[in-house]
Amino acid sequence: FEKNLEKENLYLEYDKKLDETIFEKKDKIFTLTYTKDKDYLFEEDKEKYFDNASRSRIVNFILRRKPFSDDKTEAFSFGKHIYDICVNKMIKDGHYSDAYPLHEGHWKPGSVDNTRKRLFDYWANWRNFLKVQPLDHVRKYFGEKIAIYFTWLGFYTQMLIPASIVGLVVFFYGCGISGGSYPAKEVCDPNKNFTMCPLCDFQCPYWDLRASCSHVVISRIFDNGGTVFFAIFMSLWGTLFLEFWKRKQAKMQYLWDLTDFVKEEPPPRPEYLAQLENVTTYKEDPVTGMKEPHLPFWRKRVPIYLMSWSIMFFLAMLAVVAVVGVIAYRVSVLAALQIYSRLAFKLTDWECLRTQKDYDDSITLKLFALQFVNYYSSIFYIAFIKGRIVGRPGNYNTFFGARQEECEAGGCLIELCIQLAIIMTGKQLIVNNIMEIVIPKLIKLIKRKIFKISKEKKMNAPPWERDYRLESAQHTALFYEYLEMVLQFGFLTIFVAAFPLGPLFALINNILEIRFDAIKFITQLRRPLAQRLPDIGIWYSVLYGISRIAIMSNAFIIALTSDYIPRLVYVYAYSPDGTLVDYMERTLSKFNTSDFQGSNVNVAQGVEICRYRDFRKPPNDPDKYEYSEMYWHILAARLAFVVIFENLIVIVTGFISWLIPDVPGELKIHIRREAYITNEIIIKTELLR
């Protein structure tokens, strides 16, 4: 519980940009944990002691511990029967229908001025989509947890601007060079005639390489030196993003007095105590010394954990197999996902975790792992597996008797690119936002039709009735918001080498997303309980993990999926004149159709030699169809690229994050100044006493 100490000018940037006529300008004031014996340090005005969010937290603290029983000994205890004695019990028993903090007035035009309305008008409204967010006021109204989310989202959106610009430049550069460049010219040349081997076992005909002309031209947009540069750029961008976020977070923590934030000794979750009602082994909590029911570690905890995580692993594998094996082209397996996340919650319940934080972290990791596998496995499949283990004409590898899928005529990169475009635009921009905005509106409309409540009656209802009609702000609401954004971050960093427009689409999406989320919290949900959290929690680790995976993934996409390295090797080692002329002629392998065996009926079409994409020896070689020297040469170059790229990026990013201090220098001085002034005041006052 803090109070003001002394005013000093320390405005934040966004405070300066805010319209001061609407949101009162707030000076940064020195704050200090309140102690009674140093009363002289604090302001006199008791009304200003606590802000709106703190008050609702205090009320909730009291309600959650106020016993509805006559047993005086249990007053304000964290003991076993908390689930039976507090407001939760009353709700469970049906005496109350629910308990929630109230919104401040109404947001609709024409209602009396209040914080909610002001936030709606100048933050959540569409017109403000380019304005800075009044984060300080969001914090005061919704509490630190939600304010930190919007801070993060705003910061992420800002950081996307340079990435989008560079991405766009790279894209235009790609467009510029794609038409006149060599492999495309050769493929589209009407005088050349490459008869390609069929892409599947039955039905498929021999085909002319010219058919893939447009695909090759498009894939050249994304498959050039610019993309390599952009992949390096985005790897550094990811590191800078995390480093600068740490600094931003430190700044917000200081401004919001979360710097020395020590969590209150967390009580056990009510559900946890309810689950353990039948457990007879009690154990003293080592901190508080109070008796709590206890699960023996080796006998109970370990088997439950093992089972829980092995089931999760099994599910994830199942998802991978399903996506890769059967439905590689579908964007995601929505139905299965629903069942999976239900199961994840059940499993986490089983784990019987004591505090809310443990529970949240566990469920976050589980759900994220499932979503990651679900969304990313089809993309990973296209990027690294599809068309790579097909074997060669006449000796295809089979899997349960079926030949492996091959990439389309233009190569795997273009397929990857199309998939990403679908996800980034279709799913992220359109489907998600419709789900978030349109469907709740529809539900509300239907509800209104059914219950036939007139607008006037509604406006006149007492605030608790009005709020009761809104959806309850569930504990996991913010989780899904974070999840959506983190998955997006993953798409645009992990696969940036295949789709440089990713950051741009993400930027557009997020500018909308901020306002969508703001509208949701202000108009569609009950006011959530203000929670104090100093950071974005386990999501930071997840983001860090993604940025590391991105480095590997980009190295492999450029080296293995794109044609960049083979072209380079051709130019430097095989081309007679140091250009890409005759690249296709010399790199497409030859196959003698008389070597087709058994079921393959394509022999009859009168073609003697067909071509296929691979580096193998021609039919007239003694080791025919073995990998050629060029294959090993290109493979060595590809792997050398991976080694150089990864090590370079790891060294540079490591150096960058070592160089950038986690706390901005200016902030450090402010913190030290604050400590110094407090000390001076204390020393002076104590001397005067």
Ranges within 511-550 binding a copy of itself (CB under 8 A): 541, 545, 548
Please give the torsion angle defined by the CA atoms of residues 152, 154, 159 and 163, in that order, rounded to the nearest 10 degrees: 120
The residue from 318, 431, 636, 656 that contacts a copy of itself (CB under 8 A) is 636
Any contact of residue 643 with a copy of itself (CB under 8 A)?
yes
Select from 274, 254, 301, 201 the least CA-distant residue to 2.
Answer: 254
Q: Which stretch binds a copy of itself (CB under 8 A): 382-390, 398-406, 510-518, 645-653?
A: 645-653
How many binding residues for a copy of itself (CB under 8 A)? 32
The neighbour count for residue 65, using CB atoms within 10 Å, is: 17
Any contact of residue 262 with a copy of itself (CB under 8 A)?
yes
Assess contact for 215 and 414: CB atoms under 8 A. Answer: yes
The residue from 325, 426, 672, 685 that contacts a copy of itself (CB under 8 A) is 672
Query: Closest CB to a copy of itself among 176 and 266?
Result: 266
Assess contact for 195 and 611: CB atoms under 8 A. Answer: yes
Ranges within 4-63 binding a copy of itself (CB under 8 A): 36-37
Query: Closest CB to a copy of itself among 414 and 543?
Result: 543
Q: Which stretch binds a copy of itself (CB under 8 A): 20-28, 468-476, 586-594, 628-636?
A: 628-636
Any contact of residue 295 with a copy of itself (CB under 8 A)?
no
Any contact of residue 629 with a copy of itself (CB under 8 A)?
yes
The residue from 320, 635, 652, 663 that contacts a copy of itself (CB under 8 A) is 635
Query: Closest CB to a copy of itself among 266 and 463?
Result: 266
Ranges within 547-606 binding a copy of itself (CB under 8 A): 548, 552
Query: Closest CB to a copy of itself among 461 and 552?
Result: 552
Give bridge partners of residue 535 from the DSSP assignment. Answer: none
Q: Which stretch binds a copy of itself (CB under 8 A): 389-397, 418-426, 477-485, 642-650?
A: 642-650
Q: How far apart are CA 522 and CA 311, in angstroms?
A: 39
Q: How far apart are CA 394 and CA 594, in angstroms?
A: 9
**At residue 633, what is the residue type?**
H
Q: How far is CA 597 from CA 107, 392, 602, in A?
A: 75, 12, 10
Assess contact for 323 and 378: CB atoms under 8 A. Answer: yes
The residue from 640, 656, 661, 685 that contacts a copy of itself (CB under 8 A) is 640
Query: Closest CB to a copy of itself among 421 and 560?
Result: 560
Q: What kind and span of H or E run contains 452?
A: none
The residue from 265, 277, 465, 471 that contacts a copy of itself (CB under 8 A) is 265
Assess contact for 395 and 614: CB atoms under 8 A. Answer: no
Any contact of residue 129 with a copy of itself (CB under 8 A)?
no
Length of the chain: 689
Select from 461, 553, 449 the least CA-distant residue to 502.
Answer: 553
Query: Closest CB to a copy of itself among 360 and 513?
Result: 360
Assess contact for 422 and 498: CB atoms under 8 A. Answer: no
CA-based angle 346:483:253, to the nearest 5?
110
Assess contact for 318 and 336: CB atoms under 8 A. Answer: no
Give bridge partners of residue 612 from the DSSP assignment. Answer: 589
Chain contacts with a copy of itself (rule: CB under 8 A): 36-37, 262, 265, 286-288, 541, 545, 548, 552, 628-629, 632-633, 635-636, 639-640, 642-643, 646-647, 650, 654, 658, 669, 672-673, 675-676, 686
